[in-house]
Chains A and B, each alone.
Chain A
Amino acid sequence: MNNLLDRVRENVTRTQVWKSIFRHGYPNTDANRALVMFSNVILHLHPVRVRRGALKIKFTWCLGGLTFFFFVLLAITGVFLMFYYVPDTRRAYNDIKDLGSVIYFGSLFRALHRWSAHAMVFSVWMHMTRVFLTGSYKPPREFNWVVGVILLVTTLVLSWTGYLLPWDQLALWAVTVGSKMAEASPLLGNAGPFGAELGMTVNNDVAFVLLGGTVVGQSALLRFYVLHCLGLPLITALFIAVHFWRIRKDGFSGPL
């Protein structure tokens, strides 16, 4: 039986189709295992070899990789949810209701999206804590820590913008709390220190820019939708690319 499987595999991996896709033989020799890492666009984020210590899970706890995994899961489930959602205050709530009642797997995808979002916020924090405790931000990796902090902020803002989209009471009032804080910004908010002195009013301050109006309404929903589904994911993906690139450039800090 094993012999037969080996034969099948050999015949498959020798074909022109296999070679055109993978550019290397089956990865059961050291040479091909190295070539996997070179010729696969996702795997080549890794080096070909790592020190033995890198296999210790207790160093990284896989936290950075898992954060990225959550991001990918969120992108996939998010695209599915976008098929069934219109950012219109008259429709949005009912669209979310439909996800729970009439759309196949709608409830599951929405729940997965929500849990992945919570998990991503949490794993970003834990990843940051790990990187701090192992001193992995020290030279030459200072700038990658800064990129990480930017990713922490975009993760939080992504989560927060997504919070408004179901257009239920939880959404409206959680975002209202946030916009009240924006109104209280020093210099830039109408209710903040020196805001009035600088000519800030309810219809020209930073909260107005954020909401596209003076209350959380249609403009705010559209803004949050576009930022949540397009703007912020693009920015985040860009910085993730820089983050990974810098890991490879600066090398691993620990036993890796």
Chain B
Amino acid sequence: MADKESRPVVVVTKSGNSGGLADLIKRTAAEKVGPEDTVLVWPNLVYIEFISMLAVAVLLLSLALYSPAPLEELASADTTPNPTKAPWYFLGLQELLVYFDPWLAGVVLPTMIIIGLVLIPYIDPNPRGKGYYTFSERKFAVLGFIFGLSLWYILIMIGVWFRGLDWSWYWPWDDPHIHKPAGAVKLVDLQVIIQNALNLSESPLVTLGRYGITLANLVTWALLVGYFVVGITIPFLFLRSFYNRLGFVRYNLTMFLFLAMLGVPLKIFLRLLANVKYVLVTPWFKI
């Protein structure tokens, strides 16, 4: 039936449906994708989508029946729950509050993540690996992305499952109702560690308003700036082909974002292994 109504089958493949039908047919012919390589979306693809939608709907319905939405006590500004946890998808950022001040953990780092994500297509000039899964053809891109993603998920899992009263570390077998003893560890700023180790003077060399710049403080500035300068220079010197592929602007953006991402676990290790509170202290901000 319906043969009377039948029109020429319009083969639409890679391109969209911008122009008229004639345009479509012309473009399709140009792409040399014949009907033999392709299948009709109805029913082949529509049916897969429909089944996956149904499966997920069943899953959601079961979850909803099995575990209804929780409702705690009425909101009250007088009683602060302990611990106070953000929604799970923000717990990675909240976990960072242990190691960074709120302006960094809650504002600057998330902003850099978003800017970094937006920049990905513009700083990755590698033409290979488009439209298929591959690791060998784009090792740096895949490793960098997976590293950031793992960091994000690990921090979330710590926040969800390993943080309890007073945001202390709780193993699953610890009693969640008993407070952990307050840490005996005393955290020290990096500039104090340097000052004591090198026996540097505590009196400021220069004073800019509230900011008394000591020699040790200058050393911490040099270390932080040096981290980025050295990190950007080393691949430039020893992996020149990498630099050449990216060009000046892409290379510097990529390396800055990459080193900033690497800096997050580095600061965490400095805190955990060397009890460093801040690596850089100024009257306005501390890192």
Contact = CB atoms under 8 A, between A and B. Distances in A.
Nearest to B49: A65
B45 A129 contact: no
Interface residues of B, number: 92
Contacts of B134: 135
A36 B9 CA distance: 12
Contacts of A197: 284
A159 B64 CA distance: 17
A159 B87 CA distance: 9
Nearest to A14: B1
Interface in A74-120: 89, 93, 96-97, 100, 107-108, 110-116, 118-119
A180 B102 contact: yes
Interface in A171-193: 171-174, 176-178, 180-186, 189, 191-193
B196 interface: no
Given A30-B40, A49-B41, A153-B114, A172 B2 contact: no
Interface in A211-234: 215-216
B55 to A, nearest CB: 9
Nearest to A97: B71
Interface string B124-142: 1011111111100010011
B285 interface: yes
Contact of A50 (B3, B13, B122): B13
Nearest to A142: B121
Contacts of B71: 93, 96-97, 100, 166, 168
B122 A142 contact: yes
B37 interface: yes
Given A48-B41, A111-B67, A174 B73 contact: no
A253 B131 CA distance: 5
Contacts of B41: 33, 37, 43, 46-50
B68 A100 contact: yes
Given A34-B10, A168-B72, A249-B18, A52 B38 contact: yes
Nearest to A40: B42
Contact of A134 (B94, B122, B124, B133): B133
The 6 residue pairs across chains A and B that have the minimum distance between CB atoms:
A181-B106, A25-B2, A142-B121, A184-B102, A111-B64, A193-B285
Interface of A: 10, 13, 24-38, 43-44, 46-52, 54-55, 57, 62, 65-66, 69, 73, 89, 93, 96-97, 100, 107-108, 110-116, 118-119, 121, 128-129, 132-139, 141-142, 145-146, 149, 152-153, 156, 159-160, 163, 166-174, 176-178, 180-186, 189, 191-194, 197, 215-216, 248-255
16 contacts: A43-B41, A47-B17, A47-B41, A55-B45, A66-B56, A73-B57, A111-B69, A119-B60, A121-B89, A135-B129, A168-B74, A171-B75, A194-B285, A250-B16, A252-B131, A254-B131
